[in-house]
């Protein structure tokens, strides 16, 4: 029987994948901004030439798309552009995301006052310069909480002196190594005024001029070449760099003529959260890109598998997809792609607390959960889900998936990078778990008798029951264990340190529950074909989390056999429709034909 390729998409499913916004005209314009030639690189390029081409393409894309300020106002449109870039070339996605969300975004958002950072904004909007972010410092963990780079106010000029105190505080990684590419950076620094630290602010600083030369006071140290995500990484040290007052993206803070300092944020801690308030645009982009490259990987795996014959001795010439392992891998990848697409649609449409910073809980590990707890958590969950699925697609695509084109390796590099980048996943999990344990702006799922529907694994009510029950039990245990340790006199480090594993599992349970709720909403409001494929996602979730569900006593021993049987039934139902499910992803042919070089295609 096997699976096939090449069916035309189910219009409703394709509509679900595309989403309601942007409309067809804008969508076409955004797709044209990243044409098919951007999906491959010519051979024989040096690493620097390769990077120069990435930036040249970024310029072309930026000029073809609507202006950056418009895109930042329209999250689904910006995400559509970034999704296309991610499928085409992860390095293009990374540099594009930095440009829009982490350079232009903070300049527009925090650059209050008419002249504030106008030149920087214009150079980025015109694509004459490319955006870079100087936030992370190389030598200490959790540097975002307390950058050692300072911006010392100079009362004589009204400007600031930016200083890297030592090599440990060098900003790294940054995308600034290419010697002839102009770069404008948003620098995160601790503002010092009148000898006092006033909190973390953003400064807009050209770090490479129109010819690529770094100005005096900016020392750029290129990093050795790497291949995981091919970008021009470098460390940047600011050596008493004098910047004018306008470089300060003050976000309403001011220094009065009498020299007094005023910040509407109210405190350095609240200022940090506000300065990190640019993150929701990053998280929406990362979640959307995770969904997009998972769709592309699933499409590639189906293309590899469909119609492929086997020579195994149990059943010579049996189609590869008749074997359960490959069938479940292909359909599981499709299911994961649909679930991530549902999450991406949800976050693109969702009103985030970006407009009301400091809406999240207190944090200890990173500033992220304080900005928007659930969005940060969904970013952590989406990158892990994408990493697992993309890696699985790579392995099940055999040699062609590794050696014929860079694509799956590059997607894997992207998902790996973003488990740290854009807010480190583990730190987000720990801060989420702490908020859960402390009931800090978090309400646990209610305890209800169950499971409903006699535990029928085909019932969405059962999946939600299991997820909620596991989350509640883990949270209670975590709170009890940390509370007991504190009660016995342990300091906060000791009380939490022995519970970090449980903390990560507890926050992951919360992310799982949120994801299943989003999928449930999508299945109810979306096309009927979505139901079975999201059911497969839920069954795979049960399989993946069986250890935790059993350990929490949410399910009895022997239950996994039922999950596997339900999965086989669902796969039998979905197998004839695999091509239709993949066709709705509307992937460009260049993505699904990794061995086309053999036939000159």
Ligand X SMILES: Cc1cc2nc3c(=O)[nH]c(=O)nc-3n(C[C@H](O)[C@H](O)[C@H](O)COP(=O)(O)OP(=O)(O)OC[C@H]3O[C@@H](n4cnc5c(N)ncnc54)[C@H](O)[C@@H]3O)c2cc1C
Place of tokens 């998409």: 9
150-153 and 160-163 beta bridge pairing: antiparallel
Task: Considering the complex, state which of residue 140 and residue 544 has its C-beta at the smaller distance from ligand X.
Answer: 140
The dihedral through the CA atoms of 109, 115, 120, 123 has a sign that is: positive
In the bound complex, what is the minimum distance in angstroms from residue 144's beta carbon to ligand X?
Answer: 6
Residue 153, beta-bridge partner list: 160
CA 82 to mean position of chain CA atoms: 11
Per CB under 6 A, the list member of 54, 101, 123, 136 interacting with ligand X is 136
Per CB under 6 A, the list member of 88, 98, 298, 354 interacting with ligand X is 98
In b/e form, how buried is each residue of 408-439, taking b as 16+ CB within 10 angstroms? bbbbbbbbbbbbebbbbbbbbbbbbbbbbbee
In the bound complex, what is the minimum distance in angstroms from residue 489's beta carbon to ligand X?
Answer: 22
Task: Considering the complex, state which of residue 144 and residue 537 has its C-beta at the smaller distance from ligand X.
Answer: 144
d(CA 396, CA 301): 7
Q: Which stretch binds ligand X (CB under 6 A): 135-143, 190-198, 292-300, 348-356?
A: 135-143
C-alpha distance across the termini of the chain, in Å? 28
Task: Considering the complex, state which of residue 184 and residue 592 has its C-beta at the smaller distance from ligand X.
Answer: 184
C-beta of residue 161 within 8 angstroms of C-beta of residue 151: yes
In the bound complex, what is the minimum distance in angstroms from residue 273's beta carbon to ligand X?
Answer: 16
Q: Does residue 135 interact with ligand X by CB under 6 A?
A: yes
- Return the closest-CA partner of residue 94 out of 132, 135, 65, 37: 132
In the bound complex, what is the minimum distance in angstroms from residue 200's beta carbon to ligand X?
Answer: 12
For residues 398-437, which are near ligand X according to CB under 6 A? 417, 420-421, 424, 426
- Return the closest-CA partner of residue 417 out of 144, 228, 276: 228
Q: Does residue 146 interact with ligand X by CB under 6 A?
A: no
In the bound complex, what is the minimum distance in angstroms from residue 166's beta carbon to ligand X?
Answer: 16
In the bound complex, what is the minimum distance in angstroms from residue 104's beta carbon to ligand X?
Answer: 14
Per CB under 6 A, the list member of 142, 310, 391, 595 interacting with ligand X is 142
In the bound complex, what is the minimum distance in angstroms from residue 587's beta carbon to ligand X?
Answer: 25
In the chain, what are the helix, strand and coil shares in percent, each to the nearest 5? 55, 10, 30
Q: Does residue 541 interact with ligand X by CB under 6 A?
A: no
Q: x/- contact string, 333-372, with ligand X (CB under 6 A)?
A: --------------------------------x-------
SS3 label, residue 438: coil
In the bound complex, what is the minimum distance in angstroms from residue 172's beta carbon to ligand X?
Answer: 7
d(CA 15, CA 12): 5
Per CB under 6 A, the list member of 8, 126, 141, 494 interacting with ligand X is 141
In the bound complex, what is the minimum distance in angstroms from residue 491's beta carbon to ligand X?
Answer: 14
In the bound complex, what is the minimum distance in angstroms from residue 276's beta carbon to ligand X?
Answer: 11
Per CB under 6 A, the list member of 133, 236, 495, 533 interacting with ligand X is 133
Q: Which stretch binds ligand X (CB under 6 A): 138-146, 209-217, 288-296, 551-559?
A: 138-146
Query: How many CA within 13 A on the CB side of residue 364?
Result: 14
183-193 and 150-153 beta bridge pairing: parallel
For residues 438-467, which are near ligand X according to CB under 6 A? none
d(CA 113, CA 107): 11
Task: Considering the complex, state which of residue 422 and residue 532 has its C-beta at the smaller distance from ligand X.
Answer: 422
SS3 label, residue 316: coil
For residues 158-197, which are near ligand X according to CB under 6 A? 171, 173-175
Strands of 194-282, DSSP E? 196-208, 218-222, 233-238, 241-243, 248-249, 254-255, 261-262
For residues 197-236, which are near ligand X according to CB under 6 A? 229
Task: Considering the complex, state which of residue 132 and residue 300 has its C-beta at the smaller distance from ligand X.
Answer: 132
Task: Considering the complex, state which of residue 144 and residue 545 has its C-beta at the smaller distance from ligand X.
Answer: 144
C-beta of residue 339 within 8 angstroms of C-beta of residue 515: yes
DSSP 81-107: HHHHHHHH-HHHHHHHHIIIIIIIHHH
For residues 39-68, which are near ligand X according to CB under 6 A? none
Q: Which stretch binds ligand X (CB under 6 A): 127-135, 159-167, 208-216, 521-529?
A: 127-135
d(CA 51, CA 89): 12
Q: Which stretch binds ligand X (CB under 6 A): 23-31, 118-126, 140-148, 210-218?
A: 140-148
For residues 479-498, which are near ligand X according to CB under 6 A? none
d(CA 304, CA 327): 12
C-beta of residue 334 within 8 angstroms of C-beta of residue 578: yes
Task: Considering the complex, state which of residue 305 and residue 383 has its C-beta at the smaller distance from ligand X.
Answer: 383
Rg, C-alpha atoms of the chain: 25
In the bound complex, what is the minimum distance in angstroms from residue 257's beta carbon to ligand X?
Answer: 34
# residues contacting ligand X (CB under 6 A): 19
Please, which residues have CB within 8 angstroms of residue 47's CB and are 6 or more apart in sequence?
Answer: 225, 230
In the bound complex, what is the minimum distance in angstroms from residue 184's beta carbon to ligand X?
Answer: 13
Task: Considering the complex, state which of residue 134 and residue 181 has its C-beta at the smaller distance from ligand X.
Answer: 134
d(CA 29, CA 312): 48
In the bound complex, what is the minimum distance in angstroms from residue 423's beta carbon to ligand X?
Answer: 7
Task: Considering the complex, state which of residue 246 and residue 424 has its C-beta at the smaller distance from ligand X.
Answer: 424
- Return the closest-CA partner of residue 580 out of 548, 532, 539, 541: 532
Binding site for ligand X (CB under 6 A): 98, 133-136, 141-143, 171, 173-175, 229, 365, 417, 420-421, 424, 426
């Amino acid at each position: 029987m096997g699976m096939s390729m090449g069916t035309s998409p189910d219009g409703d499913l394709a509509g679900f994948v595309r989403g309601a916004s942007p409309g067809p005209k804008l969508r076409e314009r955004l797709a044209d901004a990243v044409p098919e030639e951007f999906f491959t690189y010519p051979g024989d390029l040096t690493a620097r030439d390769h990077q120069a081409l990435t930036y040249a393409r970024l310029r072309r894309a930026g000029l073809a798309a609507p202006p950056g300020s418009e895109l930042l106002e329209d999250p689904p449109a910006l995400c559509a552009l970034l999704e296309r870039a991610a499928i085409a070339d992860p390095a293009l996605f990374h540099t594009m995301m930095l440009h829009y969300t982490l350079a232009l975004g903070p300049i527009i958002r925090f650059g209050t006052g008419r002249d504030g950072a106008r030149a920087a904004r214009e150079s980025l909007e015109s694509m004459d310069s490319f955006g870079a972010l100087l936030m992370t410092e190389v030598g200490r963990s959790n540097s975002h909480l307390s950058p050692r780079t300072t911006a010392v106010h100079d009362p004589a000029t009204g400007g600031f002196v930016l200083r890297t105190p030592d090599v440990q505080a060098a900003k790294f990684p940054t995308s600034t190594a290419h010697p002839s590419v102009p770069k404008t950076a948003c620098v995160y620094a601790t503002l010092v005024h009148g000898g006092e630290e006033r909190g973390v602010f953003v400064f807009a600083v050209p770090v490479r001029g129109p010819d690529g030369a770094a100005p005096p006071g900016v020392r750029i140290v290129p990093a050795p070449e790497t291949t995981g995500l091919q970008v021009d990484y470098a460390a940047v040290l600011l050596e008493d760099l004098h910047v004018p007052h306008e470089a300060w993206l003050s976000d309403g803070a001011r220094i009065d003529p009498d020299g007094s300092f005023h910040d509407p944020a109210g405190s350095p801690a609240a200022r940090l959260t506000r300065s990190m308030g640019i993150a929701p645009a990053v998280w929406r982009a990362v979640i959307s890109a995770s969904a997009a490259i998972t769709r592309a990987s699933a499409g590639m795996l189906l293309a590899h598998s469909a119609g492929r014959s086997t020579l195994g001795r149990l059943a010579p010439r049996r189609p590869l997809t008749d074997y359960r392992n490959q069938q479940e891998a292909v359909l599981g990848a499709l299911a994961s792609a649909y679930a991530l697409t549902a999450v991406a649609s949800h976050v693109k449409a969702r009103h985030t607390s970006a407009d009301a910073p400091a809406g999240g809980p207190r944090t200890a590990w990173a500033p992220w959960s304080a900005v928007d707890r659930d969005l940060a958590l969904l970013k952590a969950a989406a990158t892990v889900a994408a990493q697992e699925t993309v890696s699985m697609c790579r392995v099940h695509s055999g040699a062609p998936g590794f050696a014929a084109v860079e694509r799956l390796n590059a997607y894997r590099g992207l998902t790996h990078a973003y488990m740290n980048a854009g807010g480190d996943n583990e730190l987000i999990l720990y801060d989420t778990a702490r908020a859960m344990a402390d009931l800090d702006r978090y309400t646990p799922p209610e305890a209800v008798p169950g499971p409903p529907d006699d535990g029928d694994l085909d019932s969405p009510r059962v999946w939600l029951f299991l997820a909620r029950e596991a989350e509640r039990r883990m949270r209670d245990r975590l709170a009890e264990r940390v509370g007991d340790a504190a009660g016995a006199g342990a300091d906060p480090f000791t009380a939490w340190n022995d519970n970090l594993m449980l903390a990560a599992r507890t926050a992951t349970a919360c992310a799982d529950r949120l994801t299943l709720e989003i999928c449930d909403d999508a299945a109810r409001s979306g096309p009927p074909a979505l139901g079975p494929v999201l059911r497969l996602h839920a069954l795979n979730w049960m399989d993946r989390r069986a250890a935790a569900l059993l350990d929490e006593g949410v399910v009895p021993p022997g239950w996994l056999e039922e999950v596997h049987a339900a999965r086989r039934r669902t796969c039998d139902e979905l197998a004839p429709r695999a091509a239709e499910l993949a066709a709705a992803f509307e992937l460009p042919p260049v993505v699904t034909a990794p061995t086309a070089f053999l036939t000159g295609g």
